Amino acid sequence: MEISAPDDGFDEAFTEVRYGETDQMGYAHHAVAVLWLEYGRVHWLRKRGLSYRDLEASGVLLPVVSMTLKYHAPGRFEDQLVIVTELVELGKSRVVFESRIHRLETTGTRTLLVTGSVELVCLSKTGRIQRVPPDFERIWKQIRGH
């Protein structure tokens, strides 16, 4: 019998600032943080055996209803990034993730670039609010140690 490690609710996804994500000054454009948060959520789900594609195919849509972002430091072209994502709240029909985006310095330290929170609501393909899928509830219980 295989014993899996407890789920701490966190995930780290790695990417970099690409040239097309920068402005004329060479800084990552502020709007790119939205895409980085989405990448972190997709990676978080995939790590737990879920995929957006499969959720949507099963009739579950997860549109963003609220988002907050705070910028702490700029990113530049070719900066190596780590996106730390955590599921922080699960309601009957909504999910809230928090993320921190860090630049990985050559020294091995991390510099905080962006913090953000995203609230998603669970909808059917017809646009009706529905309960979160059982997989989310199962993962939430594992994270919370129940």
Q: What is the pTM of this model?
A: 0.90
In order of their start, the domains of the chain are 10-143 (3.10.129.10)
Residue 4 has pLDDT above 80, yes or no: no
The pLDDT of residue 146 is 54
Q: What is the pLDDT of residues 32-75, one digit of tens each?
A: 999 999 999 999 999 998 988 999 999 999 999 999 999 999 99
The pLDDT of residue 122 is 97
Q: What is the DSSP string of 91-141?
A: -SSEEEEEEEEEEE-TTS-EEEEEEEEEEEE-B-TTS-B-PPPHHHHHHHH
Q: What is the pLDDT of residues 93-122, one digit of tens each?
A: 999 999 999 999 999 999 999 999 999 999
